[in-house]
Amino acid sequence: MMKINQHGIVESLHVQCNAGNMFLNYFLYYIDGMLVDSGPKSSKDTILPFLETKEINTVALTHFHEDHTGNAAWLQREKGARIYIHPMSIEICRRKGEYPSYRHEFWGSREGFDAAAIRTNVQSDHYTWEAIHTPGHSRDHLVFINEELGILFSGDLFVTPKPKISMWQESIPTVMDSIRTVLAYDVKEMYCAHAGYIPNGREMLEKKLNYLEETYEEIHSLHDKGYTVEEIDERRYPTASPLKIISNKEWDSVHFVRSIVEDEPSLGRHVKS
Ligand SMILES: [Zn+2]
């Protein structure tokens, strides 16, 4: 399955990746000689023919996860593109990706590649994109903003307005702070790696922040009454999601609750070097 769309000057390629009978969406974005993230290796038979037709000078990576970096090695080798990422992830990207097997099934195996550091911005052929550090989903997470165009490439900052589950490495209070950071910028349209083009991007980010703030209050008030993290999880999220099962609990609502109870906004939790 694949679909190409044009939104003003942004072209998108939508692919679906599966493990067993579960499907996840991924959206690749091309604008002005720049590719935002490189997409999962598992969809290379769809993605590479799309990329072959393009002049790609710059690849701006929002974070090191394999669904975003899967074709970076190919882009470097075959297209001679310059690859950029947050400086803390240059080292991990030099090596072949190491992650649980269900992620290999969904996204494929990421080869190592050489990336250069993004400091404050990244350049496409005609535009400058501010790179805003927005940790929480991952420590290195960046979003790219051009206020003149009103465009935000949001990586995995948004994904869904009402999350109920998270990866064990994620920090929800840090995500909330990162959304507040982005809302200080003049952005309208949002391009999300898993939800696609969102014309009312600002509104949807505000919606997610409001939902997380309410959820934060509700979970803390249960915790103040003496409920444990596990009891709060059982009470609020009694049904296990398919992702929890397929990921062998790397994704779990209990991580979401624990992060809200325990984390201070920071560079993220349980950070592995
Ligand atoms: Zn990610």
State the distance from the centre of ligand 1 to the C-alpha of 173, rounded, in angstroms. 17
pLDDT confidence bin for 266, thresholds 50/70/90? low
DSSP class of 248: T
pLDDT confidence bin for 269, thresholds 50/70/90? very low
State the distance from the centre of ligand 1 to the C-alpha of 67, rounded, in angstroms. 7
Instruction: Please report, for the chain, the start and end positions of each structural domain, with discontinuous segments joined by +.
Output: 1-126
Percent of the chain with pLDDT over 70: 97
pTM of the model as a whole: 0.95
State the distance from the centre of ligand 1 to the C-alpha of 259, rounded, in angstroms. 17
Classify domain 1-126 at the CATH class level: alpha beta
Strands (E), the chain: 2-7, 10-19, 22-31, 34-36, 58-60, 82-85, 116-117, 121-123, 128-133, 142-146, 151-155, 166-167, 189-192, 196-198, 251-252
State the distance from the centre of ligand 1 to the C-alpha of 137, rounded, in angstroms. 7
> What is the spatial distance between Cα 235 and Cα 89, in angstroms, rounded to a whole number?
38
State the distance from the centre of ligand 1 to the C-alpha of 63, rounded, in angstroms. 7
Instruction: For the chain, report the end-to-end CA distance as a whole number of angstroms.
Output: 36
Which of 10, 59, 8 lies closest to 35 in space, CA to CA? 59
Greater confidence (84 vs 269) lies with 84
pLDDT value at position 2? Answer: 85
Greater confidence (17 vs 264) lies with 17
State the distance from the centre of ligand 1 to the C-alpha of 233, rounded, in angstroms. 23
State the distance from the centre of ligand 1 to the C-alpha of 68, rounded, in angstroms. 7
Which of 259, 24, 23, 30 lies closest to 156 in space, CA to CA? 24
State the distance from the centre of ligand 1 to the C-alpha of 225, rounded, in angstroms. 34
pLDDT confidence bin for 270, thresholds 50/70/90? very low
**pLDDT per position as a tens digit, 161-209:** 999 999 999 999 999 999 999 999 999 999 999 999 999 999 999 999 9
State the distance from the centre of ligand 1 to the C-alpha of 224, rounded, in angstroms. 32
Percent of the chain with pLDDT over 90: 95
**Residue 265 predicted with pLDDT over 60:** yes
**Residue 68 predicted with pLDDT over 50:** yes
State the distance from the centre of ligand 1 to the C-alpha of 138, rounded, in angstroms. 7
**pLDDT per position as a tens digit, 71-122:** 999 999 999 999 999 999 999 999 999 999 999 999 999 999 999 999 999 9
> What is the spatial distance between Cα 253 and Cα 87, in angstroms, rounded to a whole number?
31
State the distance from the centre of ligand 1 to the C-alpha of 164, rounded, in angstroms. 16
As given in the structure block, the two tokens for residue 188 are 């309208």
pLDDT value at position 264? Answer: 79
**Residue 273 predicted with pLDDT over 50:** no
**pLDDT per position as a tens digit, 202-224:** 999 999 999 999 999 999 999 99
Instruction: Tell me how far the alpha carbon of residue 43 is from its chain's centroid.
Output: 17
Query: How many residues would you count in the chain?
Result: 273
Q: Show Cβ contacts of residue 249 under 8 Å, excluding neighbours closer than 6 positions.
A: 168
State the distance from the centre of ligand 1 to the C-alpha of 112, rounded, in angstroms. 17
- What does the pLDDT average to over 122-127? 98
